[in-house]
Amino acid sequence: MAEFTPEMTLREVRKTPEFADFAPFIMFCNEDPADDPVNPGKDPEDFTMKSDPVCATIEGLTVLRDNVRKGIQVAYDIYTDEEKAKEPDKDNTKLFFFPGKPGKPFMLVCAGGGYATVCSFLEGFPVAARLNRMGYNAFVLSYRVNEVGLLPKPTEDVAAALRLIFANADKFQVSTENYAVAGFSAGGHVTGSWGTNYLGYPRFGMPKPALLVLAYGASKTKANPGNFFFRSMVGDNPDPEMVKAVDITANVTPDYPATFLWQCKDDPLVPFEAAEAMDKALETAGVPHMFMAFEKGGHGIGLGDNTDAAGWLDHAVEFWETVSK
C-alpha cells in the first residue's frame, strides 16, 4: 500500500495489510450509519483524515504500521476468552502499544467519540507517537462504547488494561512507577472518572496515577435523561449514586491525582465552563494541577498542531515530570 494521505478514507486505512488483525479498532464505531447518534446517516468508513487536518493522524498511523513491520506486537486483548464469553461486549476492546525508551514510564491514552465511537486514529495514535518522540512509552485504549448505561464499563476497561500492562511490564520494558492516563472529550470523562473514588482506581484496587490529562474533557455533566451522552453513561433507570458519579467536578477530593487540563474557549461541543469548573474543583481540593485555556481551536483537535493549542503536550509532559519527582 502507498503511504497514508489526508484524502484517504477510514475504509482505505482499515485495508492496510499490517492492520488486518485489528482494523475495526482504528476507529471503533457503530457500523450502521443510521444508528450513529453523532453523525446520523453518515457512513463512518467515509471519514477522512482530511476532515480533521490539525491532528497528526498520518504520523500516528505510520508509526503503528512501521512497528508491525518491525515485528512488534502492537495490539492486545485486555480480557481473556472466558471473560469475553461471559460478557460479549468485552470483545469490543483493544489495547495498542507504542514503545518508547526501555524503562521509561508510560501514558495510557483514551480517545474521544461521545461514548458512541472511539476515535483512536485521530486522538490516540498521534499522541502516542509524539510521546514516543519524547522518549515515553504509550498505550492507546479502545474502551467499550455505544451502549445504554455504560458506566462503569469504560473505567473497568482502564483497570483491565493497566493490569495487563503491570503484569507484562518486563515484556513491554516499561516502568510501572508514575504512570499517567490521558483522555479527550468522552475519553476525558473516562480519564477524569479514573481519579474518583466511585468510578476510578480505588474501586478497582489499582495504584494511583501520577497524572491525569484532561483534553477538552466532559468533566461537568448535568443530569439530563433526554441527552444521548447522559443516557449512554447511566441508562434509562439510573442508580442515584451513578448519577452523582458522572459529574467529575463534584467528585474531586484532596487525594484526587495531579491533573493537567486544557480546552479551547470556542469549543462547540463541550462547554468551556466545564474546564473552568474542573479547575475550580481542583483548586478548592488542593490538588496539584495546571490549566491551560486557548482562545481558538474548537473541539476534537488532538495534538492541536497549527492551532492556538499547539504544544500543549510538551507542557503536560513537563508537568508530569514535575509531579513525578
Q: What is the mean pLDDT of each run of 10 residues along the chain (325 residues)?
A: 80 94 88 42 58 69 97 99 98 98 98 94 96 98 94 98 99 98 98 98 98 95 73 87 94 98 96 96 99 96 93 98 96
Domains along the sequence of the chain with CATH: 50-323 (3.40.50.1820)
CB neighbour list of residue 141: distance below 8 Å, 6 or more residues apart: 78, 93, 94, 95, 96, 108, 109, 110, 124, 157, 158, 161
User: How many C-alpha atoms does 282 have within 13 Å on its Cβ side?
Assistant: 24
Q: pTM score, two decimals?
A: 0.94
Rg (CA), the chain: 18
B/e letters for 99-123, b = 16+ CB within 10 Å, e = fewer, are bbeeebbbbbbbbbbbbbbbbbbbb
Instruction: Name the H helices within the chain.
Output: 10-14, 57-69, 81-86, 125-133, 153-167, 169-172, 186-194, 228-234, 240-245, 272-285, 312-323
pLDDT of residue 2: 63
Query: Would you state the pLDDT for residue 225?
Result: 66
pLDDT of residue 47: 64
